[in-house]
Amino acid sequence: MARFSLALVTSALALLASGTPMLRRLAAIPREASKLAVDDLTKRVIAYDARDNYLGFMERDALAVPYKRDGSCSALSADEAQKLPGWDTLKATAQSNWGKGSWHIVTNDDDYPTEPASVCAQDAGNVVVKGDPQCTVQTQSLETTIVGTNGTATVSQTSGTLYSSSQTVTQSASLSIDRTVTVSVGIPEVADVSASTTLSTSMTNTLAVTTTSESNQQTTQTVSIAVPDGATCSVTFKETSCTTRGSGQVPFTATGWVWFEYNDKTHGHYKWALNMDNILSEADRSSYMKFDAVVSTDTKGQYNAEC
């Protein structure tokens, strides 16, 4: 029993010497965590909330599976982190907590793959229309005759709208330069002719690059027309084509952890990290790719039969 107690005391002293509290083993970093530290002796990651309340520790797992990013996200580099609008706030927070000693800024530390930093492209929202749409209206006529008896004539009618949008980048975001992402672009209602819709498009975060996207929401159906005996019927179809100019923007937003790895131990540790999401607003974590858009709509419908 004495030997067992001595082992416990030795272990406790080692933890106290390392600055690691002896409470709460975590399976993952809690959502409310704003700060992390790395214990130099045990290599555990220690989590704190914004008020420096201890939340627990997580064992370093050398075989931990790195964070998986979806197609709109990529790894945030240390250089990109320092280009964020809120970088001065993040830097000041670190200095206020742990001093102004020399450090290395690190993101996605290879030793701690479960504390990632990413930049993700978000949907563009609706295109902001500039000026009035330019529209033209065309009509097409078809004549049909049934002789000898009352009957019906059938014609094929296409209705709905074909949407096409061309986007040219006028300002690239400072994050994810040259990266191609797939985002949604909202197309507003055009001149009471076509309804609003959303297009999925691939865009490249490079100045002056143009991409196009299309959504065909037209359908074709057979229309039956009653034709009197011996009569000739004229069927007229209406087609409205519009061109609308506008602009929009795609936010590239950073999320995750930035490590401040000090050259000298400060407050008991060399490595400290801040959670951007809990400290910075979304605007302070974002850079914007801006674009001009030319939207073309081809709307078919409104047939009229005269016999």
What is d(CA 256, CA 278) in angstroms, rounded to the nearest whole number? 9
Whole-Å CA distances, 287 to 20, 174, 185, 246, 278:
37, 6, 17, 20, 18
Domain boundaries, the chain: 2-120+262-286, 125-251+290-306
CA angle 81, 84, 85 (to 5 degrees): 155
- Are the C-beta atoms of residues 57 and 46 closer than 8 Å to each other? yes
Provide mean pLDDT across the span 202-211. Answer: 96
- Picking from 183, 154, 182, 198, the residue whose alpha carbon sits closest to that of residue 295 is 198
- Picking from 121, 129, 123, the residue whose alpha carbon sits closest to that of residue 177 is 121
Residue 19 tokens read as 């600055």
pLDDT at residue 211 greater than cutoff 50: yes
Provide mean pLDDT across the span 218-241. Answer: 82
Which pLDDT belongs to residue 22? 52
| Burial category of 142 from C-beta neighbours within 10 Å (exposed 0-12, middle 13-18, buried 19 and up) | middle
> For 22, what's the count of Cα atoms within 13 Å in the CB-facing half-sphere?
10
| Burial category of 76 from C-beta neighbours within 10 Å (exposed 0-12, middle 13-18, buried 19 and up) | buried
Q: For 148-166, what is each residue's pLDDT tens digit?
A: 456 777 777 888 999 999 9
Who's near 6: CB < 8 A, 6+ residues apart?
none
Q: For 115-152, what is each residue's pLDDT tens digit?
A: 899 999 999 999 999 999 999 999 877 666 555 456 77
Q: For 56-77, what is each residue's pLDDT tens digit?
A: 998 876 445 555 677 789 999 9
Q: What confidence category does residue 112 fall into, taking pLDDT thresholds of 50, 70 and 90?
A: confident
Of 108 and 13, more confident:
108
Who's near 116: CB < 8 A, 6+ residues apart?
66, 67, 69, 75, 108, 256, 257
Q: Model's pTM, two decimal places?
A: 0.80
What is d(CA 74, CA 54) in angstroms, rounded to the nearest whole number? 31
Cβ neighbours around 119 below 10 Å, total = 28
Which pLDDT belongs to residue 2? 42
Average pLDDT score, the chain: 86
pLDDT at residue 182 greater than cutoff 90: yes
Which pLDDT belongs to residue 259? 97
pLDDT at residue 299 greater than cutoff 90: yes
Who's near 113: CB < 8 A, 6+ residues apart?
64, 65, 66, 67
